[in-house]
A and B are shown apart, each in its own frame.
Chain A
């Protein structure tokens, strides 16, 4: 499937037109048509999650209605959960230095397939047979 050139949906719903305009403003000119639908779905899901969280926070603070502070708090909490970025470089260098100090474990010769101990492998059966109780 080839990526279609951007065509502003003249007959589409207003939301789709707004999304197409946003994509154009961000400099994206070539995309498949289903991208707009996916972006709209994501936007809907994100906004509803934030607003639900804001409702919970405002009811916890016993406020009569949801206000901007609740929404701000909801956004901050969600950002820490879902939109994470890798740790900063100095932190990575720090833990790398700490980790690299430990010497490498020795390699045992002639040990066949090198696998972790059985506890850490996925080779154990993941079921258990239930004993039949004989009815007397």
Chain B
């Protein structure tokens, strides 16, 4: 009887789902609907959830720890927290006191007298400010054996109960990253056994993707456009109101981006790189057959501009120059092919005013193409090995290239030889990027490091290690604070340039990441990858919830399509993201 009833219920549910056109209606039914849960099952689920919750992540650490390491690891943690003077380290600082007490008690229990003495004498001084802490510390000094601990009520209370510390989620992640960065077995062991970390999740509001503009805005602090006539600005109160509304806009949720995808068909696997000009009018692509093809993205066709100097006519000041309006577009073509290289073209870059194009290739040369006449104007030679990547400095004053010869070189447009050599990488330099202030150059390499160089001096000023694979893409934030790097290890790392440390690590991609870009207000990062998806992340991370597939919680959206490979992403002004990639072709074998 009961089985018939269950089947009836399942039938009803599947009919309802089919009527509502849920495609995967067979999936959940095959596994058997959970229509009721016994009390035991509920209890089991609850314990599983609480045991595997965020506070118990640290319990996975191995438990072998030598007592000599206690002093080393505790000292390192203390130095780390005192050196980095940030809000997170201030929140984690109270953790040092219980760690000290428990490590001391542990060593006394194991009977290691000399290490106990040295540990105590080195670190006890920092806890003498607080009266209650000072009291315990002095009692610790007299404990020599286990019996001393057991007879002392306060110390025994330490051992019998867990010490509770409250942390914000950000500080907790900060602490976890430090513990993971090096060998901290002893600290992890103490944290699992004796300390309970009460993690308070950061306040999040739900972030809806593809919502209509009005609903997402209504979930945030309701903004009204405030009309502030110029005459009221003298009023102090109105000024405060204006600043307040500016702050609300700045801290509000990032607006959803518009994405425009340019797909290449029938490239026959020859396409290496694609880029869109800053004025969005041209698309340049570099191919393995040494040509660079230019497409016009507007309705106007590409046409060479007429020569400005016409030596067959002498113009006098009194001449009336008649502007010849060329109304026939027959002379123009939609695509122009630029031939000049003798090897596959690996990267192209437009000048910031879109008047010229630089391309670098396996034939060890860099060529400058003038986009008025679509001809090759200059040949820059200096590398002895294939050149992998190019970047142009913000005011188009210099450009830099990275090559297989493990160096990056700085060039100026009016000299055909390099001006600076940045040597120091152990393997070839895969990507180069200028900082927005043109003073620094970042290079990513196959030796899994990212280096920051001073443009003028030529010496390496920072070395960022931590990637587990070659670094294939770099991007600087327009406000100059962060550097994003990503590569074959499928992780996006954000480095804070002021302190020179890792700020965030974003997980989620499942294949090599090929391109990165920041939004103009430095709040969003878009990343393109060979797993045919483009992901947009919000690095201020105030408005997202954790996605289901294990990606970092900064993920705002994942965009996939019928693509074989995504080559480049570029943020334009007005919140527009331009993506170029290779379209998926039907297999005809």
Is chain B's interface secondary structure helix, strand, loop, or mixed overall?
loop
A121 to nearest B CB, angstroms?
5
CB–CB B377/A96 < 8 A: no
Complex formed: what's the CA distance from A89 to B406 in Å?
8
CB–CB A115/B406 < 8 A: no
Q: Is A2 an interface residue (CB 8 A)?
A: yes
Would you list which residues of chain B between 393 and 413 have a CB under 8 Å from chain A? 396-397, 404-407, 412-413
Sorting the interface of chain B by its residue count into under 10, 10 to 19, 20 to 34 or 35 or more gives 35 or more
Contacts of A92 in B (CB 8 A): 405-407, 421, 423
Closest CB pairs A-B (n = 10):
A100-B458, A92-B423, A96-B423, A114-B413, A96-B421, A86-B405, A114-B414, A99-B421, A116-B414, A120-B416
Is chain A's interface secondary structure helix, strand, loop, or mixed overall?
loop
Complex formed: what's the CA distance from A99 to B423 in Å?
11
Q: Is B379 an interface residue (CB 8 A)?
A: yes
Complex formed: what's the CA distance from A123 to B396 in Å?
21
Contacts of B385 in A (CB 8 A): 86
Q: Is A122 an interface residue (CB 8 A)?
A: yes
In the complex, per-residue mask of A91-125: 1 if CB is within 8 Å of any chain B CB, else 0: 01101110110101101000001111100111100
B481 to nearest A CB, angstroms?
26
> Given A86-B385, A92-B407, A105-B415, do A122 and B421 touch, yes or no (CB 8 Å)?
no
Q: Is B173 an interface residue (CB 8 A)?
A: no
22 CB-based A-B contacts, threshold 8 Å? A86-B384, A86-B406, A87-B405, A89-B426, A92-B405, A96-B422, A96-B423, A100-B420, A100-B458, A102-B419, A104-B456, A107-B412, A113-B355, A113-B370, A114-B396, A114-B414, A115-B377, A115-B378, A115-B414, A116-B416, A122-B376, A123-B377
Name the residue of chain A whose CB is nearest to the CB of B268.
A1
Q: B: which residues have CB within 8 A of A?
A: 269, 355-356, 368, 370, 375-379, 384-385, 396-397, 404-407, 412-416, 418-424, 426, 428, 456-459, 587, 589
Complex formed: what's the CA distance from A1 to B426 in Å?
34
A interface residues, how many (CB within 8 angstroms): 25
Complex formed: what's the CA distance from A115 to B457 in Å?
24
Contacts of A114 in B (CB 8 A): 396-397, 412-414
Contacts of B458 in A (CB 8 A): 96-97, 99-100
Contacts of A102 in B (CB 8 A): 419
Other-chain contact of B587, A2, A107, A116 (Cβ < 8 Å): A2
A80 to nearest B CB, angstroms?
14
Contacts of A117 in B (CB 8 A): 414
CB–CB A100/B421 < 8 A: yes
Name the residue of chain A whose CB is nearest to the CB of B407.
A92
CB–CB B419/A105 < 8 A: yes
B126 to nearest A CB, angstroms?
43
Name the residue of chain B whose CB is nearest to the CB of A88.
B406
> Given A2-B587, A113-B355, do A100 and B459 touch, yes or no (CB 8 Å)?
yes
A103 to nearest B CB, angstroms?
9
Complex formed: what's the CA distance from A114 to B368 in Å?
11
Contacts of B376 in A (CB 8 A): 122
Contacts of B370 in A (CB 8 A): 113
B580 to nearest A CB, angstroms?
21
A52 to nearest B CB, angstroms?
26
Complex formed: what's the CA distance from A89 to B429 in Å?
13
A82 to nearest B CB, angstroms?
13
CB–CB B405/A99 < 8 A: no
Contacts of B420 in A (CB 8 A): 96, 99-100, 104
Name the residue of chain B whose CB is nearest to the CB of A98.
B421
Complex formed: what's the CA distance from A1 to B582 in Å?
13
CB–CB B378/A1 < 8 A: no
Contacts of B407 in A (CB 8 A): 92, 96
Contacts of B457 in A (CB 8 A): 100
> Given A2-B587, A113-B356, A115-B413, do A104 and B419 touch, yes or no (CB 8 Å)?
yes
Complex formed: what's the CA distance from A113 to B378 in Å?
12
CB–CB B377/A122 < 8 A: yes
Besides the known contacts A89-B424, A92-B407, A113-B370, 20 further A-B residue pairs in the complex with CB atoms under 8 A apart:
A86-B385, A92-B421, A92-B423, A95-B423, A96-B407, A96-B422, A96-B423, A96-B424, A99-B418, A99-B419, A99-B421, A102-B419, A104-B420, A113-B356, A114-B412, A115-B414, A116-B414, A120-B416, A121-B378, A123-B375
